[in-house]
Amino acid sequence: MQTLKGGDINMSDELTPADEFAWKQVVDTIPKSSLEKLCDPICDVVGRGIAGCFTYIFYKPLEFGIVSKKHFNDLVNGTADKISKIPKENIDNSKADQLLNIIENSKHSISDDEIRNMYKKIIANTVDNRKNKNINNYFATVISNLSSESAEVLRMLYKNEIKWLPYVKVVEFLKSKSDGAMRVISTGNTVNLSEFKKETNPKVVMMESSINVLESLGIITKSGKSREENAEEVYLFMRKKLTKEARKANFDIDKIEFVEKTINLTELGYEFINICY
């Protein structure tokens, strides 16, 4: 077992030269403060295993400058800090396969602050038996496919108590509304409902590609217009903003129509954001 003496991490058990070399790689790779937390008796084998996983996956990318040392240290430090706060009786290594898969995927998005923070949370929760029951290998696939914008959509849903977002598509009829021929002016328009409650003029943002990605991953779904309390107020605000934008772009306002829907989390989506936020 590793012990902490005089500020250094030493080996108290006899190890083979190969083991000593591997442990030296861990010591050289993992920030000292994080290694101390992960090697604390509270974390036991799980903490040392996580340090080993980080080293195994990131050692070469760090050595060749493929991964930023700053971003790596932030990921490891944040993860170690969260794990150190898990009560000893709740530390659990039953999801070791999923843990390795998640850490492996983290190297592809480590430069993005929002997604890196999600990785800190999901790695820590993977070894917490109060939270890891619903974690599976698919979560690693989901998070590896996220962009900053799609992570922002999830954050907007997470911060909204009712867990829904408005979705508005703007179309223009080419001749008349009775003719039926139309073109899409803008789609995937939504608004952060947390900001809507606090600000008098929140931004309407277009996030169609990210919404499509999350929908294809099974995290969200689109349905008809929301009937939640104050939903009509939200849609009205968006119609006014989008009408103003269409007028500025010289579209015929009389031929404009709004397709209004709702974005909701699926059951899988609820499980995912509760693990990652």
More confident residue, 196 or 121: 121
State pTM to two decimals: 0.84
Question: What CA–CA distance (Å, rounded) separates 134 from 82?
Answer: 19
Question: How far, CA to CA in Å, does 271 sit from each of 55, 142, 145, 158, 275?
Answer: 29, 12, 17, 11, 6
Q: What is the CATH class of 153-273?
A: alpha beta
How does strand 256-265 pair with strand 164-173? antiparallel
Residue 40 has pLDDT above 70, yes or no: yes
> Who's near 154: CB < 8 A, 6+ residues apart?
146, 214, 219, 269, 272, 273, 276, 277
More confident residue, 218 or 196: 218
pLDDT for 8 equals 42
Residues of the chain with CATH 3.30.110: 153-273
The alpha carbon of 154 is separated from its chain's Cα centroid by a whole number of angstroms, namely 7
The terminus-to-terminus CA distance of the chain in angstroms comes to: 33
Please give the single-letter amino acid code of residue 52.
Answer: G
Sole residue written with tokens 């119609």: 239
CB-based contact 38:80 (threshold 8 Å) = yes
> In this predicted model, what pLDDT tens digit does every residue of 171-182 receive, in sequence order?
998 876 666 688
Q: Where are the alpha helices (DSSP H) in the chain?
A: 17-29, 32-38, 44-63, 69-84, 96-106, 113-126, 137-144, 148-159, 193-198, 208-216, 231-248, 267-276
pLDDT for 177 equals 63
pLDDT for 103 equals 95
Query: What is the percentage of the chain residues whose pLDDT exceeds 70?
Result: 90
> In this predicted model, what pLDDT tens digit does every residue of 52-104 receive, in sequence order?
999 999 999 999 999 999 999 999 999 999 999 999 999 999 999 999 999 99
Query: What average pLDDT does range 24-30 have in this prediction?
Result: 87
Beta bridge partners of 37: none
